[in-house]
Amino acid sequence: MKFAFFDTKSYDIPSFEKYGNEKGIEFKFFETKLNKDTANLASGCDGVCVFVNDTVDAEVIDRLYELGIKIIALRCAGYNNVDIKYTFGKIHVVHVPAYSPYAVAEHAIAMLLTSIRRIHKAYIRTKDHNFSLSGLTGFDLHGKTVGVIGTGRIGRVFIDICKGFGMKVIAYDKFPAKDSDINYVTLDEIFEKSDIISLHCPLTDETKHIIGKEAINKLKKGVVIINTSRGALIDAEALLEGIKSRRIGAACLDVYEEEADIFFEDVSGHIMDDDTLARLISMPNVLVTSHQAFLTEEALNNIAETTVNNITEFFDNGYSENELCYRCGKTESCKNGRRKCF
């Protein structure tokens, strides 16, 4: 089997080559992202392997279908960049529902600690032999209330870590985890009571801009916001205004709504066209990493292994356990006997 592998980075290749060779899959690695102009690179392939910033809209899906592509293999959990409804009846879609919830949850905590204890600022100072502590005062996590939006695998690991710090945890999820001791509250209570808010929910029509102007007006003054999920969960313009008005005390962002042409790339020699991102980065209380939370050796290995297993399972059995189904409207939890969607 041959697969066109889009948006390739150097760290992707070793694990995918390893598992691909074991299963007889040849990956053709392309640095370019998948879009309407690059879809033809998949000619002669059985499927495509894509990531979070590849474009898989109706136009791209039609072209892939014309090329005989049978499966779109996402090497990530999120699928908001794929028109799942439009793929129905044309091309099957599989994803990696879990690779390492610890990687993302631990990165969220790392960003939080770096921000509130000014680790990044202290590092820069001491490199210049400046050992002053002025302006580096932080605050204890112990006893603080953290509001967690989204209690899937990553959210629950994050909650466990927070409890280890002695934090009070409240959470919101449209579909609460059964048989858990999580203290679920309303979204408004999350906004009003939390000293820290961490986002761990998928991006859907309902969750887009869940942190927007209206929500920010309800926030506890000085709240720290962490986002390691999807950029569009936060209205970046509203976030900027919330920071300028001192309503938001700090922001830790591993994702950004308009990250597609910026994150994962070295644009250090170019003028930043995105004024909102440029202004956010310039803020002393904003910490930005470039969609790095997933990047651990364990996660990369798990992503490659699961993606290859999804592909071989589909071609061997006609379906994959991790197929995203549109037929019943339950995209990730289809009860169609775990058979193919169409």
Q: Which residues are catalytic?
A: 230, 259, 291
What is the rounded CA–CA span in Å between residue 312 and residue 196? Answer: 42
What is the rounded CA–CA span in Å between residue 3 and residue 78? Answer: 20
Question: In terms of Cα–Cα distance, which of 166, 237, 170 is closest to 198?
Answer: 170
**Structural contact between residues 64 and 43, judged by C-beta atoms closer than 8 angstroms:** no
- Coil/strand/helix, residue 12: coil
Residue linked to tokens 């070295």: 266
What is the rounded CA–CA span in Å between residue 280 and residue 282? Answer: 5
**Structural contact between residues 25 and 4, judged by C-beta atoms closer than 8 angstroms:** no
Beta bridge partners of 197: 147, 225
